[in-house]
Structure formats: structure tokens, C-alpha cells
Amino acid sequence: MEFKAAKFRRPVEIEGRLCAEVGLIPDDDKETPLLAYVAPVRNGGYEIVRLLRNDAHYEADWYDNNLHNAFEEIAAEEFIISNNEISCSDRDSIVDAVLGSTEVRSAVDELFQLDT
């Protein structure tokens, strides 16, 4: 899956770990946008902590709507390499897509107080 845009959204805590929430807009308008949660790793760089499909319809999902799953977690095994698409199991590729924008990388580095 290729992405046309990435945007830092906010800091989020997941299971006691500070993460950066980054929205990803796929090149293909038929694909569902993603939310990637990234955090630094001890040996340097970043890892994907969680990856969600962002299928929120704000007209219907502003309340607890049990008829629609606005945010669905993506398991690594759900993505398969085919037709030159990025496999989600190749987490380095997803990290590159998330942090490919200078603006996003700067915001994430600033959140974690890392020098680039």
C-alpha cells in the first residue's frame, strides 16, 4: 500500500507507553485511511506499536455506535505482498511511510525529544 499523505495527530499513551499517532492517507481513494502509533526503540529509530484502519464516519460515529467499527486494529498477518503492495509484516516499510514526511518526522522527534 502506498500513501499520499501522513500527518502527526497527537501524543497517545498505549499500555503505558507514549506513542505518536500519525494519520496515513492511501494513494488509492478506495482504501481506508490508517492510524499508525509509533514509539522509539532503545537501539534508535522507531517501531509501529499499533496500526488501525480509520473508517470513522463522523456523522454516525460521534457517539458509541455499535453498528459500525470506526477503528479496527490491523494484524500483521492480514497484509500479504501482492501486486507490488507493501506488506504490513514488513514493519520497516510502514515506519518509512509514517516518517517519510519531514514535517511528521520533526513532530515525532520533538515529542520524544530526539535529535535528528
Q: Does 39 reside within a domain? A: yes
Q: What pLDDT, on a 0 to 100 scale, did the predictor assign at position 75?
A: 52
How many domains would you assign to the chain? 1
| Domain contains 25 | yes
Range of the domain at 39: 3-111
Task: Please report whether residue 35 resides in a domain.
Answer: yes
Query: Looking at the domain assignment, is residue 48 inside a domain?
Result: yes
Task: Specify if 8 maps to a domain.
Answer: yes
Distances (CA, A) of 60 to 33, 63, 71, 96: 17, 7, 13, 33
**88-114 confidence digits (pLDDT tens):** 445 667 788 889 899 999 999 999 997
Task: Tell me if 98 is assigned to some domain.
Answer: yes
In a domain, 116, yes or no: no
Task: Assess if residue 28 is contained within a domain.
Answer: yes
Dihedral over alpha carbons 69, 24, 5, 62 (to 10 degrees):
40
Sheet holding 71-73, edge to edge: 3-14, 17-26, 34-40, 46-54, 71-73
Lowest mean pLDDT among 7-21, 23-37, 67-81, 89-103: 67-81
